[in-house]
């Protein structure tokens, strides 16, 4: 298995599998986060956040998800290093725009910027919810006392327009990263004929737009309304 992962196909295969795994998580994560703008009382979001925090399946998936992020990030830099070693001297080629998209030519840069967005998100939200719950207030929802995650998240957006701006930028960068990563992952796994590739490129672009707009809408909602 280790020998396979060190081949060109194996390295791309691992990137594709971890990438698609994270694509699915991002969709679920966004669906929960959008509850922030559909209920100003915070009840819906608190219920969603509590479900994610207490569901046994989610608890099992958390370390797998974390490993997926780590592997995907480290492996992307490793692949870039391998490509750089294979081409230490730049050679003459056609204009990049003629054969590839801007996102595909800058996946590492986009990935690094998305990583900054991810780290910011972890520090401000996940770390507090997971490791500092004693710093959070609680609310009663449906007769049960649960952590008031809504207040934690909403207060950060309400307190700083600069924070909202950076969150919007992070959502847009994530969309750009997904616009290429989505369909290229399927292509690596073998769905590379012309008909399927066009469909996957369309779906990937649509999904990327939804993700970018969804994550951007949340801080903009609080910025405009509050």
pLDDT, residue 1, reads: 54
Residue 39's pLDDT is what? 92
C-alpha 223/C-alpha 204 separation (Å) is 29
Q: What integer pLDDT is reported at residue 181 of this predicted model?
A: 81
Q: What is the pLDDT of residue 4?
A: 63
User: Residue 39 corresponds to which tokens in the numbers above?
Assistant: 């209920």
CA dihedral over 215, 186, 11, 28, signed as positive or negative: positive
pLDDT at 177: 86
pLDDT tens track for 85-132: 766 555 445 555 555 666 667 777 777 778 888 888 888 888 888 888
Inter-residue contact 21 to 68 (CB < 8 Å)? yes
Query: Could you say which residues of the chain have pLDDT below 50?
Result: 91-92
């Amino acid at each position: 298995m280790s020998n396979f992962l060190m081949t060109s196909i194996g390295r791309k295969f691992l990137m594709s599998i971890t990438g698609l795994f994270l694509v699915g998580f991002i969709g679920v994560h966004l669906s929960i986060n959008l509850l922030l703008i559909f209920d100003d009382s915070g009840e819906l979001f608190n219920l969603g956040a509590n479900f994610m925090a207490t569901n046994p399946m989610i608890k099992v998936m958390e370390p797998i998800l974390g490993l997926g992020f780590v592997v995907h990030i480290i492996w992307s830099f490793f692949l870039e290093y391998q490509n750089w070693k294979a081409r230490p001297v730049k050679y003459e080629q056609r204009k990049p725009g003629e054969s590839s998209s801007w996102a595909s030519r800058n996946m590492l840069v986009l990935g690094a910027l998305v990583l900054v967005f991810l780290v910011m998100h972890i520090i401000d939200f996940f770390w507090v919810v997971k490791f500092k719950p004693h710093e959070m207030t609680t609310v009663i929802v449906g007769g049960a006392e649960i952590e008031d995650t809504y207040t934690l998240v909403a207060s950060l957006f309400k307190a700083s327009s600069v924070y909202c701006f950076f969150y919007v930028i992070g959502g847009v960068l994530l969309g750009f990263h997904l616009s290429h990563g989505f369909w290229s992952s399927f292509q690596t796994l073998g769905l590379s004929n012309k008909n399927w590739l066009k469909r996957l490129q369309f779906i990937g672009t649509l999904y990327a737009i939804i993700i970018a707009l969804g994550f951007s809408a949340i801080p903009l909602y609080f910025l405009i309304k509050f």
